[in-house]
Amino acid sequence: MKRIIVVGLGNFGSVIAARLHEQGHDVIAIDPRPAVVDALGARVSKAMVGDATQRQVLEEVGARGADAAIVSTGEDLSASILALLALRDTGIQDIYVKVRSDDHARIANALGATESIFPERESALGLANRITSGRLLQYVQLNRGS
């Protein structure tokens, strides 16, 4: 069982947090919106209202020593980058960042992201491959960080 921090509980963050918890992992979810945190509730180990760009908040929820983190802050580039830095400062080695653009990915990778994730791009590539392969092959391409 791994301890995984999920920052940002929009569609992507909520789904991945719940799925990781279903798979038996200790999932700590953080979002500044109380309604979103309440909605996720019992589908994770711990859900907290907070600003994950603040290292103190991450320390309070037990981020230090976590096995991995996922940053999924939506459109807010600055929150994404600041959360990445704060998570890295807590000593987490594997940090996956949902990105919206190639520039966002370059910044995240330069700052130590393990991988930059383009959910829409990956879904589109997977769908194209399923259509052309008769659904015999499911394909997901990940952009590896440096």
In a domain, 42, yes or no: yes
Q: Give 41's DSSP letter.
A: G
**CB contact at 8 A, 72 and 4:** no
Query: Rounded to the nearest 5°, which phi and psi values hold at 43?
Result: -85, 5
Range of the domain at 55: 3-118
Q: What pLDDT does 72 receive? A: 97
Residue 100 falls within a domain, yes or no?
Answer: yes
Q: Is 143 part of a structural domain of the chain?
A: no
Count Cα neighbours of 35 within 13 Å in the Cβ-side half-sphere: 1
In a domain? residue 98 = yes
How many domains are there within the chain?
1
Model's pTM, two decimal places? 0.87
Q: What is the CATH number of the domain that holds 28?
A: 3.40.50.720
Q: Is residue 126 part of a domain?
A: no
Measured over all CA atoms, what is the biggest interatomic distance in the chain, rounded to whole angstroms? Answer: 50
Query: Each residue's pLDDT tens digit in the chain (146 positions)?
Result: 999 999 999 999 999 999 999 999 999 999 999 999 999 988 999 999 999 999 999 999 999 999 999 999 978 899 999 999 999 999 999 999 999 999 999 999 999 999 999 999 988 998 888 888 764 445 555 555 54
Per residue, what are the HEC states of 14-26?
A: HHHHHHHHHCCCE
| Adjacent-strand bridge partners of 144 | 115
- Under DSSP, the state recorded for 100 is S
The residue behind tokens 């979810």 is 29
